[in-house]
Structure 1
Amino acid sequence: MRVRLKGEVFCTFVLLIALCTLLYALLRPTQQTSPVTPKKSKVSLPTVKPKTFLESEDSPSESKLLSEVYNAQQTSEEVKPSPTSALTVPPFDFQQYLRNKDYRNFTLLINQPNKCHQPPGESFLLIAVKSIVEDFDRRESVRKTWGRESVINGAKVRRVFLLGTPRNKTAVSMWESLLQQESHYYKDILLWDFLDTFFNLTLKEIHFLSWAEEYCSNVKFVFKGDADVFVNVENLIHFLQSQDPSEDLFVGDIINNAKPIRSRKSKYYIPETMYGLGMYPAYAGGGGFLMSGVTMKKLSKSCNEVELFPIDDVFLGMCLQRINLTPVLHAGFKTFGITKPSAAPHLETFDPCFYRDLMVVHSLKAAEIWLMWNLLHSQQPPCSQRQRIKKPFHWKRKKAKLPIKAVTRVMDKN
């Protein structure tokens, strides 16, 4: 009996040793390769995204579009798994951009060929607003406020919105049919067949200039801006009516001596391999600027001769430099918002008094644009009571003593 028990214990012990050896053999390669796996994922992350983006597109023309690695990096920054991983992911795939930057001709899916040729009269000002498919509320706010198509002080104003295709077509359900209906109703939508991303705004710039040269060659002046700006169109027209439309004009919030940003964390990061100079040419803040029809035609031609640049504002500055035109700074363009005056820090920046004499104010919500426009166009607009008082105020003299003296003189005569 004892021999039998000893045999069973021995067999159990041998099986246990064999099981431990097998587990050790299985776990040993995992422990050796586990510290290497995260490093491989960090290196492969920038290259996997462009492949997924290019393979997901069916059209050969769309396969030449810019990469969406920058948008993927924005999502990864919101999660923030670790400080080191945020540094390893570049904000934009510049190699992919450089390979595809020469593809600049995309199909116009929705056109408004009669926008500037509708009777009566010649178009004085064309308003072009950058927008995206999802922002219907912002477009509607512009249509009902400062972007109305009307005649202001004898000047005919026209309006168009500049759009590309949405990045995530599945997230915007029925976007094509909805946009077609919006275009049919308002007749102000221009849609091109390129993805509407931050680095594709340069494509939107050159395609609009080409469209305006072809379909709005008779327009005298052009205002181009964002959908989140408030524009005092009356002030724009008052300023433009004193300008010669046959001469060059480019006015806005001009930025001089701006240096390229070399920090990889920045949205506007540009490596030295792409732009080696230490200073950008003078350019206008993208919130909004004015130009004459003559300048618009010159810029359309010069943009075809300048290599595409990821930042559209700077790219337009390069085109201005190409035609030897210096942009003009105007104090009425506040493309970086309104700052409180040091002499009156108690005042609120969202005050109609600040907007009365300005032309363009950037970074406003749709509801704020609506409210500000209605306040300035009400029957009794704020800040206007001071202008109505032409003479200084004086207390009126009392005239009650005159009749009393007259009565006493009559009584003395009697």
Structure 2
Amino acid sequence: MGKRSPGAMELAGAVMEIHTHQRRPILRSTFKGLLLLSVLLISISYLFVYKDRLSDYLQSNTSLKQTNPIYRAPLPLEHPNRTFLQHHRAFPRNYHFILDDTDVCRSNTPFLVLVVPVAPGNRKARDAIRKTWGTETLVQGELIQTVFLLGLPSRGNITELQEHVSMENLQYHDLIQSDFIDSYNNLTIKTMVIMDWLATQCPKVSYAMKIDSDMFLNVENLVRMLKSPGIPKELYLTGMLARNPPVIRDRSSKWYVPMETYPDPHYPTYTLGMGYLFSIDLTSRFVEVSKSIEPINIEDAYIGMCMKKLGLSLTQPPDPNQFGRLFHVYNRCTFSKIITYILGSSEQLVTFWTDLKKPGPPC
């Protein structure tokens, strides 16, 4: 990766300190050799770690194992349950959960599970959600539960950040972490891991929602919509629909997809990834069909591709205006009627939520 691991730098410093206190040439040469050999070996190990998505790092992180009894190290590459040779990289069972002790779907059966994909280091966003719409656990008589889905940290002080994630989970027990590298280009993997977790851990819930961490969510309106007449209980996917949008071929765009990866000029209709809702029966179907669909890094378009491959249609929400994009000016009356809005910061989420929930009619 071009950087030494913390262990490499500590070892190098220790060897250099010993070296400066030795006077004999033979010892000086010996320690020089040990230094070069150690740095070389650790650098090679570091590259291997990232090749296997930090599995060796996690297995050797004894402090993480001691502070989190639920920690489970990823399977080694040679393990018979590894499926790299059988399936492409977006197939979620190529990856394995290393934090997953949430009580969601285990001691109860929620009506709706909200899953928030979020970067490991974005504690601020998680705390804002825990103070706002994540507190909505019983709405119109229905149990609602929220969890956060993380991959492995890919930058900064990885060991320290992973320990912070582990300690946070010990406090809240609402983090689910898998052993893929958490990055923008891996959002499709992240989404498919969400589908796999829901399919295996929450098969009896009615609905689930994938919702980004920068979103305002009006849970009352969401549940009201789901309980309205005519809402399907099976094969249901809804949200803000993008109808056959063009594929971006501009190499400077972060949404660029090359012709060789996806040759069609348009995507099938899909729901915008900021927040979409689906019946739980779709999750296992998405996991299975992902074996046969070439992955792209546009995760919401990929879900649309899965729907097309399954021969299924998306459903327009009863009131499409409830799934909003960016708001222009905060208005309490407007926010009392919508389901989602994209926000600019976690501070906005707390401020707007507090104002919406204050006593008195919003309009």
TM-score range, shorter chain: 0.7 to 0.9
Contact 2:191–2:299, Cα closer than 8 Å, also in 1? yes
Distance 1:57 1:256, change over 3 A: same
Matches of 2:86 and 2:290, distance apart in 1: 17
Matches of 1:304 and 1:116, distance apart in 2: 26
Matches of 2:87 and 2:142, distance apart in 1: 39
Task: Return the letter of the residue paired with 2:353.
Answer: W
Matches of 2:183 and 2:51, distance apart in 1: 18
Contact 1:287–1:335, Cα closer than 8 Å, also in 2? no
1:236 to 222, 238, 250: 222
Distance 1:57 1:271, change over 3 A: same
Matches of 1:310 and 1:192, distance apart in 2: 18
Determine whether 1:217 maps to 2:203: yes
Cross-structure match for 2:100: 111
Q: Secondary structure at the match of 2:351?
A: helix
1:318 to 295, 305, 311: 305
Matches of 1:54 and 1:253, distance apart in 2: 45
Distance 1:191 1:53, change over 3 A: farther
Cross-structure match for 1:180: 166
Matches of 1:357 and 1:54, distance apart in 2: 54
Give the Å deviation of 1:205.
1.1
Superposition TM-score, scaled by structure 2 size: 0.73
Contact 2:102–2:176, Cα closer than 8 Å, also in 1? no
Give the Å deviation of 1:112.
3.2
1:62 to 44, 53, 77: 53
Listed as ranges, the matches of 1:326-405 within 5 Å are 326-330=313-317, 331-334=320-323, 336-338=325-327, 349-383=329-363
- State the Cα deviation string for residues 84-122 of structure 1 (Å, max 9, x = none): xxxxxxxxxxxxxxx999234112110136411224xx3
Cross-structure match for 2:121: 134
Matches of 1:352 and 1:60, distance apart in 2: 49
Larger Rg: 1
Give the Å deviation of 1:203.
0.6
Consecutive unaligned residues of structure 2, counting only runs of 5 or more, are: 1-42, 56-84
Q: Which has the higher contact order (CA 8 A, sep 6+)?
A: 2
Contact 2:327–2:343, Cα closer than 8 Å, also in 1? no
- State the Cα deviation string for residues 119-161 of structure 1 (Å, max 9, x = none): 4xx3100000010111111101111111225211100011110
Consecutive unaligned residues of structure 1, counting only runs of 5 or more, are: 1-51, 65-98, 340-348, 384-414
Task: Return the letter of the residue paired with 1:264.
Answer: R
Q: How many residues are aligned here?
A: 286
* Root mean square deviation, CA, Å: 2.5
2:244 to 257, 263, 270: 257
Cross-structure match for 2:235: 248
- State the Cα deviation string for residues 196-222 of structure 1 (Å, max 9, x = none): 111101111111111111110111010
2:190 to 204, 223, 237: 204
Contact 1:133–1:163, Cα closer than 8 Å, also in 2? yes
Superposition TM-score, scaled by structure 1 size: 0.64
Contact 1:202–1:310, Cα closer than 8 Å, also in 2? yes
Q: Secondary structure at the match of 1:299?
A: helix
Distance 1:111 1:278, change over 3 A: same
Matches of 1:155 and 1:266, distance apart in 2: 42
Q: Secondary structure at the match of 1:62?
A: coil
- State the Cα deviation string for residues 237-287 of structure 1 (Å, max 9, x = none): 001112556422111011012111111111111111111111110111111
Cross-structure match for 2:262: 275
Contact 1:145–1:373, Cα closer than 8 Å, also in 2? yes
Matches of 2:51 and 2:159, distance apart in 1: 23
Contact 2:261–2:294, Cα closer than 8 Å, also in 1? no
Contact 1:101–1:308, Cα closer than 8 Å, also in 2? no
Contact 1:286–1:335, Cα closer than 8 Å, also in 2? no
Determine whether 1:143 maps to 2:130: yes
Contact 1:54–1:63, Cα closer than 8 Å, also in 2? no
Cross-structure match for 2:296: 309
Matches of 2:330 and 2:136, distance apart in 1: 26
Q: Secondary structure at the match of 1:373?
A: helix
Matches of 2:213 and 2:231, distance apart in 1: 28
